[in-house]
Structure 1
Amino acid sequence: MSIRQLSETVINQIAAGEVIERPASAAKELVENALDAGATRIEIATAGGGKALLRVTDNGSGMSREDLALAVRRHCTSKITADLTDIRTLGFRGEALPSIGSVARLSISSRTREAGEGYRIALEGGRSGEPEPAPVNAGTIVEVRDLFFATPARLKFLKTERAETGAITEVVKRMALAFPATRFVLSGSDRSTLELPATGDDRLARIAQVLGRDFRANAIEIDAAREDVTLSGFAGVPTFNRGNSGHLYAFVNGRPVQDRLLLGAIRAAYAETVPKGRYPVAVLWFSLDPALVDVNVHPAKADVRFRDPALVRGLIVGAIREALTRAGDRSSSTGADAMLRAFRPGFSPEPAAASRVYRGDYERATNAQWSPQQSPYRPEGFREEAAPRFGEMATGFAEAPAGFAGFATPSARGEEPGPAVQPSPDHPLGAARAQVHENYIVAQTDTGLVIVDQHAAHERLVYEALRTALSKDRLPSQMLLIPEIVDMPEEDCDRLMPFADELARLGLVFERFGPGALAVRETPALLGEVDAAALIRQLADEAGEWETADGLRAKLESVAATMACHGSVRSGRRLRVDEMNALLRQMETTPGSGQCNHGRPTYIELKLADIERLFGR
């Protein structure tokens, strides 16, 4: 078979298969062209999910008659010359318009600000005419009709009109976040109008337009740099999370990207603060020399490659964690909003199906071998009622924070409360006033009240104390007078024994005791009295995942989180007033105490104005 040159139309259709995958891809390319032309106002209209109609109108620089004739030819562009290491525009390939024109009916009308008249050119299935005079305002109007009519097979792979409409909306939102100084209007017969007014340099205002007003109250500013890479933007507090990764946005030199390195680093920065199955909310901008990043990886331009990926990942993780620490203990404002809605007349509880799931989680929680990490998502307000014996903080432990010494076993339930503590501006979590259902601490602040989940809060404090001690040396342990023999399946013993030396660093010392048992000789002093058998069995269940853990440090921190759950104040434990206040004071000085190790909030704050609204005052 002889080799022959493909026709220009077939070449364009092949290119369109990579560049134009769906209507949202066409919308992305056309909006990018408008932004590169300096547009400050962009209007997008769609019909049939973008398949029947996609029109993009801008007030950019426009094109002359000669430029218009070249714009529909492949590899013709005004954005670069010959240096692919210095790309400072969103587009640069010169493939978008001819690719669209090869599979759809495309028309472009444009006029420069200096010209007295505009011109229009049309393409249909790759066949182009000559530019003709046309009435048009300064700027450009690109209209795409009957997308993929020339390649009917591609139409079969498109999703429903609603799904394609949603994909175009997401593209416009990403572009709007990248360019807050540009006004975007998205309309059409298949959607309600979305209008995003320009916000100038106020990025947070634009983010609030796209992600909702709640983000402004739960955002932490990010501003960091490392060598030649600058990172800025906003990240949500850990308790302000979502059920999917659709609220993670990253922009490299103004270009919206969905790069695995960046999104993975953002999630890693929130490790141990966001529950499994939940995702943080963040909008980040990266600025660096174009020579240090390759945007020419894929025609869709959604992936990038960094010359030093380790530097970029380290910058993201370090900047977000430093910002979360700097912001201190903050709980999501949406928790208080949900509580207020629950108090309003007409509120109905969860449906019966949800209640059955809740009871199932409750029943599993009563099993001493059950791990909170095995059920990462639970309804708000879920109480962990597992009943390993309460482990007091060891007052003689050198690394234990002084505030923990106050958690002593009460002498009797009828004990008189200690002296009342008054709210103070120096104590954001206020002064303890009551304990409700032997699980929730109610504290009064200067501006309202705070409700604290005592188990979740103490679990976080114990975990942070374990991490701090672990970073310095081996944790002190307490020797058991009589070793505790734990009967287990032999395969569980085999899985846990290779980690015996590493677990000894955490103060947990055990050895093999026959073919199907382990003898526990020492337990971490920081946990006090602990159910060693339940702890060992849970660690054996988790040991299968440690082989893929990110190094020894991550493995030990995972174990520390498990130990913290076993050594914290349990639900149903009645506390004295001084114990409750000691817990509040320790929370105020401990980073990340706004959520437990599994990402659930440890407290909810209600402002006085919110309480007064409940009573119509």
Structure 2
Amino acid sequence: MSIRRLPEKLVNRIAAGEVVERPAAALKELVENAIDAGASRISARIAEGGIARIEVEDDGCGMSPPDMALALERHATSKMPDEAIEAVTTLGFRGEALPSIASVARLTLESRVAGADGWRRIVDNGALAGEGPAPLAKGTRVVVEDLFARVPARRKFLRSARSEYASCLDVVRRLAMARPDIGLTLEHEGRRILDLQGGQDRLARVAALTSRELAANSIGVDLDRGEVHLGGVISLPTYNRGVADHQYLFVNGRPVKDRLLVGALRGAYADLLARDRHPVVALFLDVPTSEVDVNVHPAKTEVRFRDPQLIRGMIVGGLRRALDEHGFRSVQRPAEAVLAAWRQEPVAAQASTGFLFSPAVQEAPAARLFGAETVPLPEATTARVYDRMTPFAPAPLQGRAEIAEAPPPQADAHPLGIARGQIARTYIVAEAEDGLVIVDQHAAHERLVLETLRRGMAGQAVPSQGLLLPEIVELDEPACDRLEAAAVQLTALGVELERFGPAAVMVRATPAMLGPIDCHKLVTDIADDLAGYDAALGLGARLELVAATMACHGSVRAGRTLSVAEMNALLRQMEVTPHSGQCNHGRPTWVKLAMDDVERLFGRK
């Protein structure tokens, strides 16, 4: 077959296939054009997920009639004053968006510059359908109708209107997050979905577009390395989601989905989150234009860095440092659904002015109810109390008290408060200055042990406890080979072992902090972890993951009774240990019930 030149209409449709594969892509191009036009307010309206109609209106600089004609031609743009394509700072510059959209839909372009009359130009699937004056304020309005109506091969591959709407919402949300200085609204089927005011600070805009709870459960990031700046907000590890859809990454104000950045983000939260949980982040990376190529993808959703290792190291190091600085922070308060689960016990009408007692104590003297040393109530008072007895029997008291040898410390001197008791031999209840703190003793101690092991890997050797009699652990030969290869690094973690024949190892010492443990189970788990984690990881990275397993072996278990001194010691250690606000799997180690919430539960507020 001989080579032939394609007709202009077909060329435009091919270009549309690269840039406008769905309604969300068309909406993205139009909103980006409005941002590049210097708009301070942008309104977007869609119908049927953008399939039937997309309308974008802005108050930007506008276009004159001749510029409007050029804007609808391929490879014509106002965003490249010269041929330095690598120095482009605008969001769009390919010069194909408007003509590509106009080739597969009915497009109406209206615009007016300051001091001139408005003009309208209509293009129907690549053919000029009309033009003339248009009444509108300064700025531009673009209406796209019946996308792919005459391209059935493309129309049938569109998803449902609901799915296309979700994609449109995600696009607008990312662009709005990149520019908190611009006011933006989005309407779908006449219903206003977003109404964002301009001039917001970055955290307020991110919280408005994700969750209001993020503001109280996030950490600010602000880091400079040479000419590269990293800013934004990241969630505490305990504030996470089951999908990675709430991770927003921007390079020079451009929303991107880049593998390098996503991988760096995963590395920053390593050993802070379970593998199936994901943080909520909005990271803004500002890089000199000479150090990044933004034209590697037709839709400009991917970028390429000149020094990718610098960028990755900056993200991992910057986020880890920010997380380290916030130490024991966890989620700030329980969710509203949790508060709603608290129940108020019914109060009998006849007990409204007295006490509730069990019939079992009716014949006992009042003094016996509170102990032998309690001062007996006067007879008249006792008679009045017994007259108001009810058939409601209180549950047996489960608390315990200890003889105080020294006055208890003040709660306001410690962020996590002072221990007041233990519930179900699992949860420590502490009183802080501003609320009630509940600590999961197993999860908290597991994180403390892990951080100690990690310090051992960083050069501060973990103290080990020699076994009175070395223990022989039999394993298969490959497992013994892996343990032998990692023996030196395991010694830094407090595990001293050596090869004992082809299919066994001899354990001479274990970490002192773990206390008495099952050596066979510990060594077996370590060998399994060394085999199970990706071999592409370095030994050091795999041992960091192994350390989490070791920490679980030696942590204070749920079901163990702790003394008040032990509880307070655990709280004080949490306050000075990085990442103690979450366990090794990303779950919170403590939660706080503010005094306002306690008072609400009792109807005081």
Band of TM-score, shorter chain = 0.7 to 0.9
Output aligned runs, 1:407-486, within 5 Å. Answer: 419=406, 421-472=408-459, 474-486=461-473
Q: Measure how far apart 1:87 and its partner are.
A: 0.9
Is the contact made by 1:65 and 1:131 (CA closer than 8 Å) also made in structure 2? no
Identical columns (%): 53
Is the contact made by 1:467 and 1:557 (CA closer than 8 Å) also made in structure 2? yes
Name the CA distance, whole Å, in 1 between partners of 2:598 and 2:405.
27
Are residues 1:28 and 2:13 paired? no
- Counterpart in the other structure of 2:118: 118
Is the contact made by 1:434 and 1:443 (CA closer than 8 Å) also made in structure 2? yes
Output aligned runs, 1:100-249, within 5 Å. Answer: 100-115=101-116, 117-129=117-129, 131-189=131-189, 192-249=191-248
Q: Measure how far apart 1:443 and its partner are.
A: 0.5
Q: Measure how far apart 1:172 and its partner are.
A: 0.8
Q: Measure how far apart 1:526 and its partner are.
A: 3.1
Distance 1:280 1:517, change over 3 A: same
Is the contact made by 2:459 and 2:492 (CA closer than 8 Å) also made in structure 1? no
Name the CA distance, whole Å, in 2 between partners of 1:62 and 1:34.
9
Q: Measure how far apart 1:113 and its partner are.
A: 1.7
- Counterpart in the other structure of 1:19: 19
- Counterpart in the other structure of 2:85: 84
Q: Measure how far apart 1:597 and its partner are.
A: 1.3
Are residues 1:519 and 2:520 paired? no
Unpaired runs of at least 5, structure 2: 346-399
Is the contact made by 2:530 and 2:546 (CA closer than 8 Å) also made in structure 1? no
Output aligned runs, 1:375-394, within 5 Å. Answer: none
Distance 1:418 1:278, change over 3 A: farther
- Counterpart in the other structure of 2:532: 545
Q: Deviations over 1:520-579 (max 9, x none)?
A: 232223322221111122122222234535423322221221111111111111111111
Amino acid at match of 1:161: A
Q: SS in structure 2 opposite 1:277? A: coil
Q: Deviations over 1:380-407 (max 9, x none)?
A: xxxxxxxxxxxxxxxxxxxxxxxxxxxx
Name the CA distance, whole Å, in 1 between partners of 2:249 and 2:401.
56
Are residues 1:99 and 2:86 paired? no
- Counterpart in the other structure of 2:265: 266
Q: Measure how far apart 1:195 and its partner are.
A: 2.9
- Counterpart in the other structure of 1:380: none
Name the CA distance, whole Å, in 1 between partners of 2:233 and 2:226.
21
- Counterpart in the other structure of 1:320: 319
Is the contact made by 2:446 and 2:556 (CA closer than 8 Å) also made in structure 1? yes
- Aligned alpha-carbon RMSD (Å): 2.1
Are residues 1:561 and 2:548 paired? yes
Name the CA distance, whole Å, in 2 between partners of 1:565 and 1:418.
33
Name the CA distance, whole Å, in 2 between partners of 1:109 and 1:263.
39
Q: Measure how far apart 1:283 and its partner are.
A: 1.1
Distance 1:260 1:252, change over 3 A: same
Q: Measure how far apart 1:421 and its partner are.
A: 2.0
Output aligned runs, 1:594-605, within 5 Å. Answer: 594-605=581-592
Q: Measure how far apart 1:132 and its partner are.
A: 2.3
TM-score using structure 1 length: 0.85
Amino acid at match of 2:180: P
Name the CA distance, whole Å, in 1 between partners of 2:246 and 2:33.
25
Q: SS in structure 2 opposite 1:574? A: coil
Question: Aligned residues, how many?
Answer: 549
Is the contact made by 2:477 and 2:502 (CA closer than 8 Å) also made in structure 1? yes
Name the CA distance, whole Å, in 2 between partners of 1:614 and 1:219.
27
Q: SS in structure 2 opposite 1:452? A: strand
Is the contact made by 1:51 and 1:145 (CA closer than 8 Å) also made in structure 2? yes
Q: Measure how far apart 1:417 and its partner are.
A: 6.2
Q: Measure how far apart 1:513 and its partner are.
A: 4.4
Q: Measure how far apart 1:496 and its partner are.
A: 4.2
Name the CA distance, whole Å, in 2 between partners of 1:334 and 1:156.
47
Name the CA distance, whole Å, in 2 between partners of 1:536 and 1:338.
42
Distance 1:334 1:245, change over 3 A: farther
Unpaired runs of at least 5, structure 1: 347-412
Name the CA distance, whole Å, in 2 between partners of 1:223 and 1:129.
51
Is the contact made by 1:450 and 1:603 (CA closer than 8 Å) also made in structure 2? yes
Is the contact made by 2:334 and 2:593 (CA closer than 8 Å) also made in structure 1? no
Moved more, 136-145 or 19-28: 136-145
Output aligned runs, 1:259-408, within 5 Å. Answer: 259-335=258-334, 337-343=336-342
- Counterpart in the other structure of 1:8: 8
Moved more, 309-318 or 551-560: 551-560
- Counterpart in the other structure of 1:402: none
- Counterpart in the other structure of 1:606: 593
Name the CA distance, whole Å, in 2 between partners of 1:527 and 1:21.
57
Q: Measure how far apart 1:456 and its partner are.
A: 0.8
- Counterpart in the other structure of 1:71: 71
Could you say which structure has the larger radius of gyration?
A: 2
Moved more, 168-177 or 204-213: 204-213
Amino acid at match of 1:503: L
Are residues 1:579 and 2:566 paired? yes
- Counterpart in the other structure of 2:363: none
Q: Measure how far apart 1:336 and its partner are.
A: 5.1
Name the CA distance, whole Å, in 1 between partners of 2:295 and 2:565.
62
Q: Deviations over 1:424-472 (max 9, x none)?
A: 3331011111011111110111111110111111111111111112211
Is the contact made by 2:457 and 2:489 (CA closer than 8 Å) also made in structure 1? no
Name the CA distance, whole Å, in 2 between partners of 1:515 and 1:417.
57
- Counterpart in the other structure of 1:502: 489
Is the contact made by 1:68 and 1:131 (CA closer than 8 Å) also made in structure 2? no
